[in-house]
């Protein structure tokens, strides 16, 4: 088995998960059954807040918190949900989104970094 590097994991994630910009993200956010998932660390969220109405699930807990067809998923996330992931710079969100996609979720997107969202005029909320 060939060992993977961070670069190869990111290439794979960016190949498998669609990266969308601010305007497209806004269109999807307004659709029913859409969830924004913040995968940053607790301290990052506490210091900067999060995108309005986002669910905070740190990157290291994704596989434990979101499972296909599970009634234990936060806020009723299901296999038909639109899942928009973000982090600080777009790397952890790509990896988290790729993981969730490999678990069987279909409508999975990477919206990049928190600061990109803020710079584009996106709404945020404090914790």
Give the CATH number of the domain where residue 95 resides. 3.40.250.10
In a domain, 1, yes or no: no
Please list, in sequence order, all residues whose beta carbon lies within 8 angstroms of the beta carbon of residue 56, skipping any fewer than 6 positions away. 37, 38, 40, 42, 45, 50, 127
In a domain, 12, yes or no: no
Question: How does residue 119 score in pLDDT terms, banded at 50, 70 and 90?
Answer: very high
Question: 83, 100 in Cβ contact below 8 A?
Answer: yes
Domain span at 95 = 19-125
Buried-exposed string 7-46: b where 16+ CB fall within 10 A, e elsewhere: eeebeebbeebeebeeeebeebbeeeebbbbbbbbeebbe
Question: How does residue 106 score in pLDDT terms, banded at 50, 70 and 90?
Answer: very high
Residue 97 reports pLDDT greater than 80 = yes
In a domain, 8, yes or no: no
Mean pLDDT of 7-24: 94
Predicted pLDDT at 71: 86
Question: How does residue 118 score in pLDDT terms, banded at 50, 70 and 90?
Answer: very high
Residue 69 reports pLDDT greater than 90 = no
Using the 8-state DSSP alphabet, how is residue 78 labeled? -
**Count of structural domains, the chain:** 1
Question: 68, 102 in Cβ contact below 8 A?
Answer: no
């Amino acid at each position: 088995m060939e060992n993977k590097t961070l670069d190869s994991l990111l290439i794979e994630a960016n190949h498998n998960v669609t990266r969308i910009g601010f305007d497209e993200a806004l269109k999807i956010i307004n659709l029913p059954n859409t969830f924004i998932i913040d995968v940053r660390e607790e301290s990052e969220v506490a210091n900067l807040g999060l995108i309005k109405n986002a669910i905070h699930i740190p990157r290291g807990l994704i596989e434990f918190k979101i499972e296909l067809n599970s009634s234990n998923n936060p806020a009723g996330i299901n296999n038909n949900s639109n899942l928009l992931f973000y982090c600080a710079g777009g790397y952890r969100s790509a990896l988290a989104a790729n993981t969730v996609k490999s678990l069987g979720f279909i409508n999975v997107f990477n919206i990049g970094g928190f600061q990109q969202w803020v710079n584009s005029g996106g709404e945020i909320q404090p914790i």
